[in-house]
Amino acid sequence: MSISNDLVWDIEPGGFLTRSERAERFGGGTQSGIEPSNRASTVFLYTDPAKGLAHGYNFDGWSPDRSVFFYTGEGQYGDQTLSGRNASILNHREARRTLRMFSAEGTVGRTQTKQQRYIGEFEVDRDRPFEWEIAPDTGGELRSVVVFRLRPAGRTFARSREDSAHPISPVTLAEEVAPLEGPVDDVVEQVLLERTLTPQFLHHDEGKLRVAVRREAELVTRMTRYLRSLGHEVARNKIVPAGSAFPLFTDIHDVTGSVVYEAKASPDRPQVRLAVGQLMDYRRYLGDSVGVSALFPRRPAEDLPALLALAGVALSYPQGSTFRLPFE
């Protein structure tokens, strides 16, 4: 069946149309989230947060300022690619196709047929068409997903229920936040909550993660109290890198000494290397005026302090009731 330019789109933003009704009038399939029409010059897009969460992280929805609608690409298993139906979104201008978005909302009467509310027409952002994020697939394995940045192409129906739960930041945002305080168990719960916000930690063994976090939390709590006993102002940093939905949190920011600490439960080689990578990442966003130091429960053995020095990372650890502070 050939594509026709004579089909008139007469659905206003906010109106309802089931998939079957849309397919009958304007063509296209009824099963996929991305449905290029075989009758009209249109790619129909469907978003359903409840269904999307079952197949991994769902970034779909409006940015905080409602200028961008994030839309996660197709592919339930393995890394997504910019081919197939995903390519029909990316290349819609070249193909002279419009993008029309629907959001699942309720059912038709007492049937199981989902009602679809028309959100409006969109186009891919010319300057920044998509971002890559990390999310688990349907089988729970971490993979790369493409998240399209769609701009409204006319009037749209925008409500808070369509806001993205994990909007992707267009620029890097960094701010100081309150340090972790309170009983260690409470601190552990806070850190676990932060870590489970990021997909990288979703599938760690919960018991082992809790033990490691508790050791780190005890070390952070002791160090924070010691710095404050010296009269230092202590905070943390919350960093949301450009193109990412999830924040990074530093363990300790000694504002007075201008040092950021990354605490690790063990001074073994894997943890030392992990600390180096994290601190170098933080330093990119916080600037060279802030020193960085790895914080361990004891001094690392063998050649590991030399590795830290080579990377420009200082070293700190307890010395009785005090701590060895960096840059002293």
Q: Which alpha helices (H) appear in the chain, and where do they start and end?
A: 19-26, 49-53, 84-90, 184-196, 206-229, 269-286, 304-310
Amino acid identity of residue 21, one-letter, is: E
Q: What is the domain-level CATH number for residue 235?
A: 3.40.1350.10
Domain count, the chain: 2
3-state secondary structure at position 160:
helix
CA atoms within 13 A on the CB side of 221: 16
Per-residue pLDDT, 201: 53
Per-residue pLDDT, 142: 84
Per-residue pLDDT, 199: 66
Sign of dihedral through CA atoms 128, 130, 134, 135? positive
Per-residue pLDDT, 197: 66
Per-residue pLDDT, 52: 64
Structural domain ending residue among the three candidates 121, 143, 162: 162
Query: Which token pair is 326?
Result: 């960096």
Strand positions, DSSP E, 80-138? 98-107, 114-124, 130-136
- Give the structural domain span for 24: 19-162
Question: Which residue, among 161, 37, 46, has the nearest Cα to 103 in the 3D structure?
Answer: 46
Structural domain ending residue among the three candidates 100, 128, 162: 162
pTM above 0.75, yes or no: yes
Say how far apart CA 235 and CA 224 lie, in whole Å: 9
Structural domain ending residue among the three candidates 162, 194, 216: 162
Say how far apart CA 273 and CA 54 lie, in whole Å: 34
* Mean pLDDT per 10-residue interval, the chain, length 328 residues: 66 94 92 92 89 70 95 92 97 96 88 91 96 86 92 94 91 92 83 70 63 87 94 95 92 95 94 96 92 96 92 95 85
Residue 185 is assigned to a structural domain of this protein: yes
Per-residue pLDDT, 196: 66
Q: What is the domain-level CATH number for residue 35?
A: 2.30.280.20
Per-residue pLDDT, 16: 94
Radius of gyration of the chain from Cα atoms?
25
Amino acid identity of residue 75, one-letter, is: G
